[in-house]
Chains A and B, each alone.
Chain A
């Protein structure tokens, strides 16, 4: 399995097909997470993402490895952005390609769910006329 794993300034979603296409892949499934204009009924202006980069890349490699053992994948991508991100900008992109669509759908869902749970990246929310806050999810 070929993989592309990155922490980058700007995610370019126009490269999805190029990054995941493979002659043996009949299916490509991709998830893009983007900045939403509202959270818990408050208007969001922008987000800021900080990563513990060396560890984040290691955790992403582990997740990719786990996915490649569980499903039959030809290519895989995991990218997370850092820095300031405006509404609609992509902040995370994960995806996989496989011969049949079950594998790429299930792997794609696993990649984003596990990334959100394990990868050391933190999000700060900026609101209109209010202090910014680090998001500290309560499970």
Chain B
């Protein structure tokens, strides 16, 4: 049985300086309970990989508490400066590094990390800053950028339901980055709404096979709203 009693207990072994993937897209499928536990844990010097770190995003609490060394993300700094995040202030102060990645490239780099593909050629981003410092090559006459796989020490993900083997099903737009991240980290911790006996999920409906999931913790959903 992979179940842990609390989100805090499920983070056992997560230490300073680790790279941490966090699934979720704004409010959908966000592992808010695990991120809050990581804030409580006080682990520092983290490289976080997640789609967004905006106003209202729980990840911004990691910035607030100075736990982040680097952020790899697609939504970082709002075009409007009317309200700012802790992350933005940290970044302006030079306290945290930022690697901004096109969203599809981020998803594909994570999938590649889980699929044993060290690098791939992407049509996205030539002639932009996303290609800066990267190798480019023509395929079919169009420029492409060499993108490298992303893996992490830990992935924090959220699913709707697990069985005791860790097989996961999601809900609505809750799959997003949770699915590829489950394949790309050495330690995968999933918070779920409920855990059902093995065999009660239809094998046709399982989205993440249980072999990808190391730890489970039951937590109610925390509906967080993004503010941009």
**Same complex:** no
- Residues of B that sit less than 8 Å from A by CB: none
